[in-house]
Amino acid sequence: MSHPRLSPQAALRPQPLRALTLVASAAVLTLAAHHAGAAENGLQRYSPGVGGSDMTAPLVPGWYVQAPLVAYHASKIKGNDGKQATSATPVDAQGPVPAQPGLRSNIGIDADTYALLPRITYLSAHRLLGANVGFTAMLPVMNRRANFTASPKFAGTPYASGAAAAFQPLVTAGINARVDATQDGDQTGLGDLEVSPVLHWEIGDHQAVTFAPTVVLPTGNYNVSRRVNTGYGNFYTFRPSVQYSFVGDGWDVGARTVFSFNTRNKDNGYYSGNMFNLDWQAMAFVSDDWRVGLQGYFVRQLSRDTQNLSGFTATEITERNLRKELTSGNKSSVNAIGPAVGWLMNGGEMMVEGKFLREFSARNRTEGQAFWLTVSKPL
Protein backbone atom coordinates (compact mmCIF):
# COMPACT_ATOMS: atom_id res chain seq x y z
CA MET A 1 0.00 0.00 0.00
CA SER A 2 1.30 3.47 -0.80
CA HIS A 3 1.97 6.04 1.88
CA PRO A 4 -1.02 8.13 2.96
CA ARG A 5 -1.01 11.65 1.54
CA LEU A 6 -1.08 14.66 3.80
CA SER A 7 -4.30 16.56 4.20
CA PRO A 8 -4.19 20.21 3.04
CA GLN A 9 -4.19 21.27 6.69
CA ALA A 10 -1.30 18.95 7.49
CA ALA A 11 0.61 20.16 4.43
CA LEU A 12 0.77 23.62 5.98
CA ARG A 13 2.78 22.20 8.84
CA PRO A 14 6.47 21.24 8.54
CA GLN A 15 5.69 18.16 6.44
CA PRO A 16 4.94 15.64 9.16
CA LEU A 17 4.57 12.81 6.64
CA ARG A 18 3.26 9.48 7.75
CA ALA A 19 4.59 7.90 10.93
CA LEU A 20 5.40 11.47 11.75
CA THR A 21 8.78 11.48 10.19
CA LEU A 22 9.60 11.37 13.71
CA VAL A 23 11.39 12.65 16.51
CA ALA A 24 14.71 11.23 17.02
CA SER A 25 15.41 9.37 13.92
CA ALA A 26 18.49 7.73 15.27
CA ALA A 27 18.79 9.96 18.18
CA VAL A 28 18.85 7.04 20.50
CA LEU A 29 16.67 7.28 23.61
CA THR A 30 18.02 5.99 26.90
CA LEU A 31 16.97 4.17 29.95
CA ALA A 32 14.22 1.87 30.67
CA ALA A 33 15.28 -0.65 33.05
CA HIS A 34 17.47 -3.52 33.18
CA HIS A 35 18.82 -4.83 36.42
CA ALA A 36 21.41 -7.53 37.13
CA GLY A 37 24.72 -9.18 36.14
CA ALA A 38 27.37 -7.34 34.19
CA ALA A 39 27.80 -3.60 33.70
CA GLU A 40 27.26 -1.62 36.90
CA ASN A 41 24.05 -2.86 38.53
CA GLY A 42 23.33 -4.67 35.26
CA LEU A 43 22.27 -1.42 33.58
CA GLN A 44 23.23 0.44 30.43
CA ARG A 45 22.49 3.99 29.29
CA TYR A 46 20.45 2.91 26.32
CA SER A 47 16.98 1.46 26.32
CA PRO A 48 16.77 -1.34 23.75
CA GLY A 49 13.44 -1.26 21.96
CA VAL A 50 12.92 2.49 22.35
CA GLY A 51 13.28 3.11 18.62
CA GLY A 52 10.18 2.54 16.55
CA SER A 53 8.59 4.49 13.73
CA ASP A 54 11.56 6.85 13.85
CA MET A 55 13.48 3.98 12.21
CA THR A 56 10.90 3.33 9.48
CA ALA A 57 9.58 6.76 8.51
CA PRO A 58 10.76 9.79 6.51
CA LEU A 59 12.55 12.61 8.32
CA VAL A 60 12.25 16.15 6.90
CA PRO A 61 13.30 19.58 8.26
CA GLY A 62 11.23 20.81 11.19
CA TRP A 63 10.63 20.51 14.94
CA TYR A 64 9.39 17.28 16.53
CA VAL A 65 8.39 16.11 19.99
CA GLN A 66 8.19 12.52 21.14
CA ALA A 67 6.86 11.11 24.43
CA PRO A 68 7.56 7.38 24.83
CA LEU A 69 6.16 5.62 27.89
CA VAL A 70 7.60 2.27 28.90
CA ALA A 71 6.68 -0.32 31.51
CA TYR A 72 9.38 -2.97 31.93
CA HIS A 73 9.06 -5.99 34.21
CA ALA A 74 11.57 -8.73 34.97
CA SER A 75 11.07 -11.78 37.15
CA LYS A 76 14.18 -13.67 36.06
CA ILE A 77 17.85 -13.00 36.56
CA LYS A 78 20.25 -15.10 34.48
CA GLY A 79 23.84 -16.07 35.10
CA ASN A 80 26.79 -16.53 32.77
CA ASP A 81 25.44 -19.92 31.63
CA GLY A 82 22.04 -18.49 30.70
CA LYS A 83 20.35 -20.24 33.64
CA GLN A 84 18.86 -18.77 36.80
CA ALA A 85 21.54 -16.99 38.82
CA THR A 86 22.66 -18.64 42.04
CA SER A 87 24.80 -17.62 44.98
CA ALA A 88 26.35 -19.11 48.11
CA THR A 89 26.85 -16.51 50.82
CA PRO A 90 28.93 -17.35 53.92
CA VAL A 91 27.04 -17.42 57.23
CA ASP A 92 29.37 -16.46 60.05
CA ALA A 93 27.70 -18.68 62.61
CA GLN A 94 28.15 -21.75 60.46
CA GLY A 95 31.78 -22.10 59.49
CA PRO A 96 31.43 -25.30 57.41
CA VAL A 97 28.74 -23.85 55.14
CA PRO A 98 30.99 -21.88 52.75
CA ALA A 99 33.05 -25.02 52.18
CA GLN A 100 30.06 -26.92 50.79
CA PRO A 101 29.93 -26.25 47.03
CA GLY A 102 26.52 -27.86 46.69
CA LEU A 103 24.90 -25.43 49.09
CA ARG A 104 23.62 -22.72 46.78
CA SER A 105 20.46 -20.67 46.46
CA ASN A 106 18.58 -19.48 43.41
CA ILE A 107 18.45 -15.70 43.24
CA GLY A 108 15.06 -14.32 42.29
CA ILE A 109 14.14 -10.80 41.27
CA ASP A 110 10.99 -8.75 40.92
CA ALA A 111 11.98 -5.56 39.07
CA ASP A 112 9.88 -2.85 37.43
CA THR A 113 10.67 0.38 35.66
CA TYR A 114 8.08 2.94 34.56
CA ALA A 115 9.55 5.77 32.53
CA LEU A 116 8.54 8.82 30.51
CA LEU A 117 11.22 9.74 27.96
CA PRO A 118 10.32 13.19 26.53
CA ARG A 119 12.46 14.19 23.57
CA ILE A 120 12.66 17.24 21.34
CA THR A 121 14.37 17.16 17.94
CA TYR A 122 15.08 19.80 15.32
CA LEU A 123 16.28 19.16 11.76
CA SER A 124 17.26 22.18 9.68
CA ALA A 125 17.47 22.73 5.93
CA HIS A 126 21.17 23.61 6.27
CA ARG A 127 23.59 21.01 4.99
CA LEU A 128 26.98 19.76 6.12
CA LEU A 129 28.83 17.08 4.14
CA GLY A 130 25.63 16.60 2.16
CA ALA A 131 23.53 15.97 5.28
CA ASN A 132 20.75 17.99 6.90
CA VAL A 133 21.96 19.17 10.30
CA GLY A 134 19.97 19.22 13.54
CA PHE A 135 20.02 18.33 17.21
CA THR A 136 18.09 16.31 19.75
CA ALA A 137 17.79 16.21 23.56
CA MET A 138 16.02 13.96 26.05
CA LEU A 139 15.60 13.98 29.85
CA PRO A 140 13.79 10.96 31.34
CA VAL A 141 11.51 10.83 34.37
CA MET A 142 11.17 7.40 35.93
CA ASN A 143 10.23 5.11 38.78
CA ARG A 144 12.47 2.11 39.31
CA ARG A 145 11.94 -0.60 41.88
CA ALA A 146 13.51 -3.99 42.59
CA ASN A 147 13.24 -6.75 45.17
CA PHE A 148 15.58 -9.73 45.48
CA THR A 149 14.85 -13.13 47.02
CA ALA A 150 16.65 -16.42 47.55
CA SER A 151 15.33 -19.98 47.53
CA PRO A 152 17.10 -23.29 48.30
CA LYS A 153 18.70 -25.11 45.39
CA PHE A 154 19.25 -28.83 45.91
CA ALA A 155 18.42 -30.54 42.64
CA GLY A 156 21.33 -32.22 40.93
CA THR A 157 23.78 -31.83 43.81
CA PRO A 158 25.20 -34.42 46.24
CA TYR A 159 23.99 -32.21 49.08
CA ALA A 160 20.27 -32.62 48.42
CA SER A 161 19.73 -34.48 51.69
CA GLY A 162 21.40 -35.21 54.96
CA ALA A 163 23.34 -32.85 57.20
CA ALA A 164 24.36 -30.56 54.34
CA ALA A 165 20.74 -29.90 53.44
CA ALA A 166 20.15 -28.64 56.96
CA PHE A 167 22.60 -25.82 56.33
CA GLN A 168 20.88 -24.70 53.10
CA PRO A 169 18.24 -22.52 54.83
CA LEU A 170 21.07 -20.72 56.63
CA VAL A 171 22.80 -19.99 53.30
CA THR A 172 19.52 -18.75 51.85
CA ALA A 173 18.90 -16.60 54.92
CA GLY A 174 22.40 -15.16 54.56
CA ILE A 175 21.74 -14.19 50.96
CA ASN A 176 18.44 -12.59 51.85
CA ALA A 177 20.01 -10.68 54.73
CA ARG A 178 22.60 -9.25 52.36
CA VAL A 179 20.43 -8.56 49.33
CA ASP A 180 17.33 -7.29 51.04
CA ALA A 181 19.31 -4.84 53.16
CA THR A 182 21.50 -3.35 50.46
CA GLN A 183 19.93 -3.92 47.04
CA ASP A 184 16.14 -3.66 47.26
CA GLY A 185 14.78 -0.23 46.51
CA ASP A 186 12.07 2.03 45.08
CA GLN A 187 13.18 5.35 43.60
CA THR A 188 11.44 8.05 41.55
CA GLY A 189 13.15 10.99 39.89
CA LEU A 190 15.00 12.38 36.90
CA GLY A 191 17.35 10.31 34.81
CA ASP A 192 20.47 11.28 32.89
CA LEU A 193 20.28 14.02 30.25
CA GLU A 194 21.35 13.14 26.73
CA VAL A 195 22.15 15.60 23.92
CA SER A 196 23.34 15.08 20.38
CA PRO A 197 23.81 16.74 17.01
CA VAL A 198 22.04 14.95 14.14
CA LEU A 199 23.25 14.43 10.57
CA HIS A 200 20.68 13.06 8.13
CA TRP A 201 21.46 11.92 4.57
CA GLU A 202 19.00 10.97 1.86
CA ILE A 203 21.08 8.38 -0.03
CA GLY A 204 18.73 7.34 -2.80
CA ASP A 205 15.16 6.41 -3.59
CA HIS A 206 13.38 5.57 -0.34
CA GLN A 207 16.64 5.28 1.63
CA ALA A 208 18.23 7.41 4.34
CA VAL A 209 21.07 7.26 6.87
CA THR A 210 21.17 9.19 10.15
CA PHE A 211 24.16 9.70 12.45
CA ALA A 212 23.83 10.89 16.07
CA PRO A 213 26.97 11.10 18.27
CA THR A 214 25.15 11.28 21.61
CA VAL A 215 26.69 12.36 24.92
CA VAL A 216 24.94 11.31 28.15
CA LEU A 217 25.50 13.48 31.24
CA PRO A 218 25.21 12.28 34.88
CA THR A 219 22.27 14.51 35.86
CA GLY A 220 20.05 11.79 37.33
CA ASN A 221 19.28 10.99 40.96
CA TYR A 222 22.12 8.69 42.06
CA ASN A 223 23.45 7.51 45.42
CA VAL A 224 26.43 5.18 45.27
CA SER A 225 25.29 3.29 48.39
CA ARG A 226 21.98 2.32 46.70
CA ARG A 227 21.52 -0.45 44.13
CA VAL A 228 18.34 1.14 42.74
CA ASN A 229 18.67 4.66 41.29
CA THR A 230 17.08 6.72 38.53
CA GLY A 231 20.51 7.94 37.40
CA TYR A 232 23.18 5.51 36.27
CA GLY A 233 26.17 6.95 38.10
CA ASN A 234 28.80 9.67 38.24
CA PHE A 235 30.26 9.00 34.80
CA TYR A 236 29.78 10.04 31.17
CA THR A 237 28.78 7.99 28.15
CA PHE A 238 29.65 8.64 24.51
CA ARG A 239 27.09 6.83 22.38
CA PRO A 240 27.38 7.17 18.60
CA SER A 241 24.59 5.63 16.54
CA VAL A 242 24.07 5.00 12.84
CA GLN A 243 20.59 4.32 11.47
CA TYR A 244 19.50 3.01 8.09
CA SER A 245 15.92 3.40 6.84
CA PHE A 246 14.17 2.04 3.77
CA VAL A 247 10.76 3.65 3.37
CA GLY A 248 9.03 1.98 0.42
CA ASP A 249 5.51 1.50 -0.88
CA GLY A 250 4.95 -1.75 1.01
CA TRP A 251 7.15 -2.93 3.85
CA ASP A 252 9.25 -0.26 5.58
CA VAL A 253 12.43 -1.47 7.27
CA GLY A 254 14.80 0.26 9.65
CA ALA A 255 17.81 -0.68 11.79
CA ARG A 256 19.92 1.25 14.28
CA THR A 257 23.38 0.30 15.53
CA VAL A 258 24.50 1.87 18.79
CA PHE A 259 27.85 1.76 20.58
CA SER A 260 28.25 2.93 24.18
CA PHE A 261 31.64 3.94 25.61
CA ASN A 262 31.70 4.80 29.32
CA THR A 263 34.07 6.68 31.58
CA ARG A 264 34.82 5.38 35.07
CA ASN A 265 32.31 6.07 37.84
CA LYS A 266 34.06 8.54 40.15
CA ASP A 267 31.96 7.49 43.14
CA ASN A 268 32.96 3.82 43.27
CA GLY A 269 35.79 3.25 40.78
CA TYR A 270 33.56 1.08 38.59
CA TYR A 271 34.06 0.98 34.83
CA SER A 272 31.15 -0.51 32.87
CA GLY A 273 32.27 -2.29 29.72
CA ASN A 274 31.47 -1.03 26.24
CA MET A 275 28.09 -2.05 24.81
CA PHE A 276 26.67 -2.79 21.36
CA ASN A 277 22.96 -2.53 20.53
CA LEU A 278 21.13 -3.36 17.32
CA ASP A 279 17.46 -2.33 17.09
CA TRP A 280 15.30 -3.18 14.09
CA GLN A 281 11.72 -2.77 12.91
CA ALA A 282 9.73 -3.93 9.86
CA MET A 283 6.27 -2.41 9.30
CA ALA A 284 3.55 -2.54 6.63
CA PHE A 285 0.44 -0.39 6.11
CA VAL A 286 -2.83 -2.33 6.30
CA SER A 287 -4.92 0.83 5.70
CA ASP A 288 -4.30 4.53 5.22
CA ASP A 289 -4.20 5.05 8.99
CA TRP A 290 -2.87 1.79 10.44
CA ARG A 291 0.29 -0.23 10.06
CA VAL A 292 1.56 -3.36 11.79
CA GLY A 293 4.81 -5.25 11.97
CA LEU A 294 7.60 -6.72 14.08
CA GLN A 295 10.34 -5.19 16.18
CA GLY A 296 13.30 -6.58 18.06
CA TYR A 297 16.73 -5.92 19.48
CA PHE A 298 20.10 -7.53 20.04
CA VAL A 299 22.36 -6.50 22.96
CA ARG A 300 25.97 -7.54 23.51
CA GLN A 301 28.52 -6.28 25.99
CA LEU A 302 31.83 -5.98 24.12
CA SER A 303 34.31 -5.56 26.98
CA ARG A 304 34.34 -6.77 30.56
CA ASP A 305 33.71 -4.55 33.53
CA THR A 306 36.55 -3.51 35.82
CA GLN A 307 36.74 -1.83 39.21
CA ASN A 308 39.53 -0.13 41.12
CA LEU A 309 39.02 0.86 44.77
CA SER A 310 42.65 1.81 45.34
CA GLY A 311 41.83 5.51 45.09
CA PHE A 312 39.38 5.38 48.01
CA THR A 313 40.20 5.60 51.71
CA ALA A 314 38.93 3.04 54.20
CA THR A 315 36.54 5.68 55.54
CA GLU A 316 35.12 6.41 52.06
CA ILE A 317 34.66 2.71 51.40
CA THR A 318 32.73 2.34 54.67
CA GLU A 319 30.65 5.52 54.33
CA ARG A 320 29.69 4.77 50.72
CA ASN A 321 29.08 1.09 51.41
CA LEU A 322 31.52 0.26 48.62
CA ARG A 323 32.45 -3.33 47.89
CA LYS A 324 34.17 -5.19 45.13
CA GLU A 325 31.29 -5.66 42.68
CA LEU A 326 33.05 -8.01 40.29
CA THR A 327 33.57 -11.72 40.62
CA SER A 328 34.48 -12.78 37.10
CA GLY A 329 34.09 -9.74 34.84
CA ASN A 330 31.19 -11.32 32.98
CA LYS A 331 29.57 -9.76 29.91
CA SER A 332 25.82 -9.24 29.60
CA SER A 333 23.67 -10.04 26.56
CA VAL A 334 20.01 -10.44 25.60
CA ASN A 335 17.67 -10.60 22.58
CA ALA A 336 14.03 -9.59 22.17
CA ILE A 337 11.21 -9.64 19.63
CA GLY A 338 7.54 -8.69 19.54
CA PRO A 339 4.63 -7.11 17.63
CA ALA A 340 4.20 -3.39 16.91
CA VAL A 341 1.21 -1.38 15.71
CA GLY A 342 0.95 2.29 14.71
CA TRP A 343 -2.01 4.65 14.18
CA LEU A 344 -1.65 7.89 12.17
CA MET A 345 -4.06 10.67 12.99
CA ASN A 346 -5.28 12.84 10.11
CA GLY A 347 -2.70 11.62 7.64
CA GLY A 348 0.32 12.23 9.83
CA GLU A 349 -0.49 15.12 12.19
CA MET A 350 0.26 12.81 15.10
CA MET A 351 1.15 9.17 15.58
CA VAL A 352 0.49 6.71 18.39
CA GLU A 353 2.53 3.52 18.42
CA GLY A 354 2.35 0.53 20.75
CA LYS A 355 4.57 -2.53 20.99
CA PHE A 356 5.26 -5.47 23.27
CA LEU A 357 8.78 -6.91 23.37
CA ARG A 358 9.74 -10.12 25.16
CA GLU A 359 13.37 -10.87 25.99
CA PHE A 360 15.09 -14.26 25.66
CA SER A 361 18.56 -15.83 25.89
CA ALA A 362 19.72 -13.40 28.57
CA ARG A 363 23.11 -13.77 30.24
CA ASN A 364 24.40 -11.94 33.31
CA ARG A 365 21.33 -9.72 33.56
CA THR A 366 17.57 -9.74 33.91
CA GLU A 367 15.20 -11.28 31.39
CA GLY A 368 11.77 -9.69 31.10
CA GLN A 369 9.29 -7.93 28.85
CA ALA A 370 8.40 -4.33 28.05
CA PHE A 371 5.29 -2.54 26.83
CA TRP A 372 5.88 0.72 24.97
CA LEU A 373 3.34 3.45 24.12
CA THR A 374 4.75 6.37 22.14
CA VAL A 375 3.05 9.59 21.07
CA SER A 376 4.93 11.60 18.42
CA LYS A 377 4.03 14.92 16.81
CA PRO A 378 5.65 17.49 14.51
CA LEU A 379 5.36 21.08 15.71
pLDDT of 150: 64
Q: What confidence category does residue 24 fall into, taking pLDDT thresholds of 50, 70 and 90?
A: very low
Task: Of 34-48, 91-105, 221-235, 307-321, give the range with the top mean pLDDT.
Answer: 221-235
DSSP symbols for 76-124:
EEE-TTSSBPEE----TT-TTGGG-TT-EEEEEEEEEEEEE--EEEEEE
pLDDT recorded at residue 269 = 85
CA distance 375 to 61: 19
Amino acid letter at 93?
Answer: A
| CA neighbor of 21 nearest in space, from 8, 38, 4 | 4
Distance CA 379, CA 377 (A): 6
* β-sheet bridge partners, residue 196: 136
CB 170 within 8 A of CB 94: yes
Query: What pLDDT does 352 receive?
Result: 93
* 108-133: average pLDDT: 91
How far, in Å, are 14, 74, 79, 229, 265 from residue 145 at the CA level? Answer: 40, 11, 21, 9, 22
Q: Which CATH number fits domain 8-378: 3.40.50.300, 2.130.10.10, 2.40.128.130, 1.10.460.10?
A: 2.40.128.130
Average pLDDT, integer, range 225-248? 89
Count Cα atoms within 13 angstroms, Cβ side, for 63: 3
- Identify the band that residue 36 occupies on the pLDDT scale cut at 50, 70 and 90: very low
Q: Give the pLDDT score at 33.
A: 31
Tell me if residue 54 falls in helix, strand or coil: helix
Give yes or no for residue 298 having a pLDDT over 90: yes
pLDDT in tens, 271-291: 888 999 999 999 998 988 899
Mean pLDDT of 240-253: 89
Cα-trace Rg, the chain: 23
Give 368's pLDDT tier (boundaries 50, 70, 90): very high
CA nearest to 72, candidates 149, 151, 140, 150: 140
Lowest mean pLDDT among 152-166, 314-328, 331-345, 363-377: 152-166
Per-residue confidence (pLDDT) for residue 64, from 0 to 100: 92
pLDDT band at 32 (very low <50, low <70, confident <90, very high): very low
Q: How far is CA 192 from the centre of its chain?
A: 13
In whole angstroms, give the CA distance from residue 219 to residue 234: 8
Task: Among 246-250, 259-263, 366-370, name the one with the lowest average pLDDT.
Answer: 246-250
Ranges of H-type helices in the chain: 8-11, 163-182, 314-319
Mean pLDDT of 170-196: 66
Section 72-81 average pLDDT: 83
Contact 343, 352 (CB under 8 A): yes
Q: Is 164 helix (H, G, I), strand (E, B) or coil?
A: helix
List Cβ neighbours of 144 (8 Å cut-off, separation of 6 or more).
33, 111, 112, 113, 185, 186, 187, 188, 228, 229, 230
Residues recorded for the chain: 379
- The string of DSSP codes covering 320-379 is TT-----SS----EEEEEEEEEEEEETTTTEEEEEEEEEEEEEESEEEEEEEEEEEEEE-
Cα 350 from Cα 354, distance rounded (Å): 14
Mean pLDDT in residue range 150-168: 52
Name the pTM for this structure. Answer: 0.77
Helix (H, G, I), strand (E, B) or coil at 157: coil
For the chain, the domains span 8-378
Q: What is the pLDDT of residues 47-68, one digit of tens each?
A: 888 888 888 888 889 999 999 9
Percentage of the chain exceeding pLDDT 70: 70
CA angle 237, 53, 66 (to 5 degrees): 60
pLDDT single digits (tens) 331-357: 889 999 999 999 988 877 888 999 999
pLDDT at 34: 33
- Nearest alpha carbon to residue 141 among 219, 251, 53, 250: 219
Average pLDDT over the chain reads 76
Q: 191-229, pLDDT tens digit by residue?
A: 999 999 999 999 988 899 999 999 999 999 888 877 788
Average pLDDT over residues 56-82: 87
What mean pLDDT is predicted for residues 314-322? 73
